[in-house]
Chains A and B, each alone.
Chain A
């Protein structure tokens, strides 16, 4: 039988030290959970990608546009249910620092293409019917205070109005994304609007669209449909490359560089530092508890019990601090997402992260407690009792 009261009392035999160690653990585990959540959020576009969506892009470059008439041709391919175009607009709101994603799109198919798009304010129909309107993500409402009916002025960079005026889109609806495949910080407007401005030579920029997203009809193999689309344009004028949504999103993740490497390097730095800290604390504690161990042994407690008492003490300390850190990460999930604004609009601390965080916490306690616990367990009670207090 393990005397749990002894564990508890030992832990608070030196309250300041336990508190400081626990506080370091709070900070470290909070940081680790946040780092992991950032990676998970970045990867969500890949891990949560739907298998029934394909992306058609130019085989040469994402920055080479595809002709407008590809839309109809792709839609006519066997196994294609919907087609929705995306074209990067690259403008900014008031100042260059206020940068967020804007795309022109096909208002008739956007909502059908993305069931994860949930309208939280306004009316999608209103957006669909009004050519000068837009639909904005919730993160933009939080960051810039856009309201329904507002006319959002956007200053073009590579697509500029020739009269020098900013573009204006009326906010018709606000959406929230329920999955990592759609960003909650994007503004969508009618592609027809942009196409018309270009046809009437009111603005700069090239004709065409960046990508066509395709919804594969039920019962069709996406890979077969993709190769049908690719072979359709094999001889130009623009060769296309059709990929799954997961592959398409993966290229953006890999573009940022070796993020998993950077973050795991930082993570190991944090972990290493915290393990050293807890080992240090447990060594100090073991020195002080040598006499107490002598008493336990003299009272007839076995070496195994002494070992467990000390190990559990380390794990309890670790859990007190680490657990709080994990809980803190979980509790600040929403606040941090809002603070990160449009950079990580889908940031969330997942249950996986909480579980991983707690496991790491227990392992840190185990590592820190193991060596001193073994040393104490092996002590001869006579020598232990003689130790200085």
Chain B
């Protein structure tokens, strides 16, 4: 079965370049919009999932899904840190566990407006648990038990009074900003200070979570440990790995963005398919005579069908390429949104991953194929005698 030379279709696309270009632009705009939403979702998800560790566990009060919902008294935290034998010990025999407080504080942004900034009170052990994931990039870290704080690099300069040397006031207590730190996870947009000083300044004698390293952090041991802690009489807890905990926080926004992306994709996709169908119909209508010649010279309907499907697919390729080019400039643009689980602002960037580009191109190819099917079918079903009679 002889195939129609691909050159025939490529030349036709060039011949009708205005129409080809306009259609590819329409497809491209559709693809770029959907890819933009996906890039946002990727940026948000990477921030949370890549930064979570599997060997660090988070203790929250039973029934709480986030730190904002969880609360421990001082007695609870003493009990958790000192009496839970599953927690690993460091060289000096101290449990590797840190008590932390967490509160969203209202702050003014530099460019106007207010936002909720997460302020974390941490213990010395918090830094050990973070390890080299947290780097002080300017200034120094805060002195224990002092009214000093360090600021996540993503906040510094975006929120008022967040540069080294500034004074930031929590409730009535002034804290001195002594350093800026970098972290790839959500901590990168947090303020860190001494937990005791922070809860005193906020007049809020409650702790929100305990993080720790377990002696045995295998999934089985963790599952058994979680079951035991859920039923603990003194202080019932939820125990999750940090990776699980952070992934849980993103679920809602991530899901929402995927939902928006797929709705947009299907709705805008319909419009784009109609546009490309129009272009293909017109391309075939103006070549009716040529199709007649093809049929008369012995080309079978299937090769003719495939030939026009190929032409439409190339339109899809152009659309995909334009879409990728249109969406590339958003890569790395920083934006902020609320983490709905804790009602605090998180800064993150649009991230054009290979995955986003692949989905964009596939999406565009599918649009091209859908648009080509009916016109190509029409072309393949033409009667040679009738087709030849058309000028």
The reply to whether B113 and A254 form a contact with Cβ atoms under 8 Å apart is yes
User: What is the distance, in angstroms, from B325's C-beta to the closest C-beta of chain A?
Assistant: 14
State in angstroms the CA–CA spacing of A262 and B115 once bound together: 18
Is B134 part of the contact surface with A, judged by Cβ < 8 Å?
Answer: no
State in angstroms the CA–CA spacing of A27 and B272 once bound together: 10
With A60-B106, A63-B103 given, is the CB distance from A23 to B267 under 8 Å? Answer: no
State in angstroms the CA–CA spacing of A385 and B203 once bound together: 88
State in angstroms the CA–CA spacing of A281 and B104 once bound together: 53
The reply to whether A283 and B105 form a contact with Cβ atoms under 8 Å apart is no
Q: Which residues of B contact A27 (CB under 8 A)?
A: 267-268, 270-271, 274
Chain A CB count within 10 A is highest, among B33, B272, B274, B279, for B274
Give the nearest-CB partner of A28 in chain B: B271
Q: Which residues of B contact A61 (CB under 8 A)?
A: 103-106, 116, 202
Q: Say which residue of B19, B63, B68 sits within 8 Å of A160 (CB atoms).
A: B63
The reply to whether A23 and B274 form a contact with Cβ atoms under 8 Å apart is yes
Is A155 part of the contact surface with B, judged by Cβ < 8 Å?
Answer: yes
The reply to whether B33 and A17 form a contact with Cβ atoms under 8 Å apart is no
State in angstroms the CA–CA spacing of A388 and B277 once bound together: 23
What string of 1s and 0s marks CB contacts (under 8 Å) between A311-342 and chain B?
Answer: 00000000000000000000000000000000
What string of 1s and 0s marks CB contacts (under 8 Å) between B272-310 and chain A?
Answer: 101101110110000000000000000000000000000
Is B370 part of the contact surface with A, judged by Cβ < 8 Å?
Answer: no
State in angstroms the CA–CA spacing of A238 and B204 once bound together: 11
Q: Which residues of B contact A25 (CB under 8 A)?
A: 271
- Of A105-113, A172-180, A222-230, A269-277, the stretch lying at the interface with chain B is A269-277
The reply to whether A24 and B61 form a contact with Cβ atoms under 8 Å apart is no
Q: Say which residue of B22, B171, B202, B391 sits within 8 Å of A280 (CB atoms).
A: B22
Number of interface residues of A (CB under 8 A): 55
Give the nearest-CB partner of A243 in chain B: B114
Q: Which residues of A contact B115 (CB under 8 A)?
A: 254-255
The reply to whether B272 and A273 form a contact with Cβ atoms under 8 Å apart is yes
What string of 1s and 0s marks CB contacts (under 8 Å) between A6-39 and chain B?
Answer: 0000000000110011011101101100000000
B residues apposed to A, CB below 8 Å: 18-19, 22-23, 25-27, 29-30, 32-33, 36-37, 40, 61-65, 68-71, 103-106, 113-116, 170-172, 202-204, 206, 264, 267-268, 270-272, 274-275, 277-279, 281-282, 335-338, 343, 345, 391
A residues apposed to B, CB below 8 Å: 16-17, 20-21, 23-25, 27-28, 30-31, 59-64, 90, 96, 155-158, 160, 204-206, 236-239, 241, 251, 254-258, 262, 265-266, 269-270, 272-274, 276-277, 279-281, 283-284, 388-389
In the A-B complex, the 8 residue pairs with the smallest Cβ-Cβ separation, listed nearest first, are A257-B337, A269-B33, A277-B275, A273-B29, A24-B271, A276-B26, A280-B22, A158-B69
